[in-house]
Amino acid sequence: MDQNSELYKDLDRILLTREEIAAKVKELGQRITRDYEGKNPVLVCILKGASVFFADLIREIDLPLTLDFMAISSYGSATKTSGVVRILKDLDNDILGKDVIVVEDIVDSGITLSYLSKTLMQRGAKSLRIATLLDKPARRKVTDLKVDYMCFDIPDAFVVGYGLDYDQVYRNLPDIGVLSPRIYGNQ
Ligand code: 5GP
């Protein structure tokens, strides 16, 4: 999809281009390949936002990894976090004794991932690391959350594209952009 498409008209600006994203994702894949040498990690995709990042990242990791998927409620259709975390779809497989890497689209307040990390460690994972595409450190509310792998620090703006949505739309934009406040202005 090119940047003249209708969906791009709802953006104030493009924050990260597809080329910038691809370069960082490749770098991260290579780093994870080195860090997990000799291991068979389980990569957990947090649906739906991380799905595009996940699909690209796993293909940059040169290891005999396995995949699993989890869905968690966070935002609904609003643009501010509710603080309520609910598992909508759980993992298919046991993670007891496994090296788990949770793949998330964005860490904002950190509430979602903090809850999730604790839950997965309680299930007996051997190790657990977090890989996120985006991080908004200015908005962090949880202090005990360690983000192990991160591609981009971004400012406090609501972004969409490359898997990230607003009201389920814009996930298929190949680039990441700041959504124009006129789209969600009356919330
Ligand atoms: P947290 O629990 O860290 O506050 O929220 C993380 C979740 O909030 C992300 O997985 C994502 O679904 C959503 N989120 C936070 N910031 C943004 C944003 O700028 N754009 C979009 N589309 N979702 C966001």
Give the C-alpha distances (Å, rounded to integers) separating 180 from 1, 14, 17, 86, 172.
19, 11, 17, 29, 17
Residue 108 among the catalytic residues: yes
Assess whether the C-beta atom of 108 lies below 6 angstroms from ligand 1.
yes
| pLDDT for residue 77 | 47
- Name every residue whose Cβ is closer than 8 Å to that of residue 67 and which is 6 or more positions away in sequence: 42, 43, 44, 45, 58
User: pLDDT tens, 135-150?
Assistant: 999 889 898 899 999 9
Q: Atom 16 in ligand 1: which residue has the minimum CA distance?
A: 108
- At residue 117, φ and ψ (nearest 5 deg) are -60, -45
Ligand 1 contact via 95 beta carbon (within 6 Å): no
Atom of ligand 1 nearest to the CA of 158: 19
Q: What is the pLDDT along the chain (187 residues), one digit of tens a residue?
A: 998 999 999 999 999 999 999 999 999 999 999 999 999 999 999 999 999 999 999 999 999 999 999 999 865 445 555 556 889 999 999 999 999 999 999 999 898 899 899 999 999 999 999 999 999 998 898 988 999 999 999 999 999 999 999 999 999 999 999 999 999 875 5
Is the CB of 145 within 6 Å of ligand 1?
no
pLDDT tens-digit readout, 70-86: 999 865 445 555 556 88
Kindly give the number of the ligand 1 atom that is closest to the alpha carbon of 107. 3
Sign of CA dihedral 85, 89, 93, 99: negative
Instruction: Answer yes or no: pTM beyond 0.85.
Output: yes
> Is the distance from the beta carbon of residue 161 to the nearest atom of ligand 1 less than 6 Å?
no
**Ligand 1 centroid – CA 131 distance (Å):** 14
Please state, in angstroms and rounded to a whole number, the distance separating the CA atoms of residues 185 and 3: 23
Ligand 1 centroid to residue 38 C-alpha, Å:
33
